[in-house]
Amino acid sequence: MSKTVKFGLLFLLILCLIGVRVFLEPILYDPLINYFKSDYLQNPLPGFNLNLYIFNLFIRFFINTIISLSILYVIFINKSIILFSAKIYFFTFLILIASFFLVIKYQLIDGYLVVFYIRRFLIHPIILLLLVPAFYYQHLVLNKDNQ
């Protein structure tokens, strides 16, 4: 793949990530957006449909995951990296969604920063920001060892 095509695809995929944030925010059910924009440290969590919210978190996470895996494929063009990353995304989702559910359902915490940060990891492509440098470093180390 030529560098021009690669950078064009990366630009398009990054625009897709931005589009998920801009266009899906009003469509998907997220009662905590306004809560965290307000004085959330002084107010209790608002009432909301937890099952519907978790389903909407899954949709957003899934869309971000597909776009993120596409970005990783365009950068590295390595199927083993994509399979490994998909497993990371899958297990991360399971751990985060279970934690989120338990914290919200059983009010296991006193403050709401845990809810805020778990939600951030679920709705933003933070994992991509961790994987790209890690795989790039691995690529550099493997190339150095092969020389």
Print the SS3 string covering the chain. CCHHHHHHHHHHHHHHHHHHHHHHCCCCCCCHHHHHHCCCCCCCCCCCCHHHHHHHHHHHHHHHHHHHHHHHHHHHCCHHHHHHHHHHHHHHHHHHHHHHHHHHHHCCCCCCHHHHHHHHHHHCCHHHHHHHHHHHHHHHHHHHHHC
Write the pLDDT tens digit of every residue in 4-16. Answer: 999 999 999 999 9
- Say if residue 147's pLDDT is above 90: no
The pLDDT value given to residue 85:
97
> Both tokens of residue 21?
């944030």
pLDDT(112) > 80? no
Give percent of the chain above pLDDT 90. Answer: 62
Domain ranges (residues) in the chain: 3-146
> Would you state the structure tokens that stand for residue 2, as one six-digit string?
């030529």
Has residue 123 got a pLDDT over 70? yes
> To 5 degrees, how large is the angle CA 47–CA 93–CA 85?
155
pLDDT at 54 over 90: yes
For residue 57, give the nearest of 110, 105, 101, 18 by alpha carbon.
101
Residue 31 binned pLDDT confidence (cut-offs 50, 70, 90) = confident
Mean pLDDT confidence for 138-146 = 85
Predicted local confidence at residue 142, as pLDDT? 85
The confidence score (pLDDT) of residue 74 equals 97
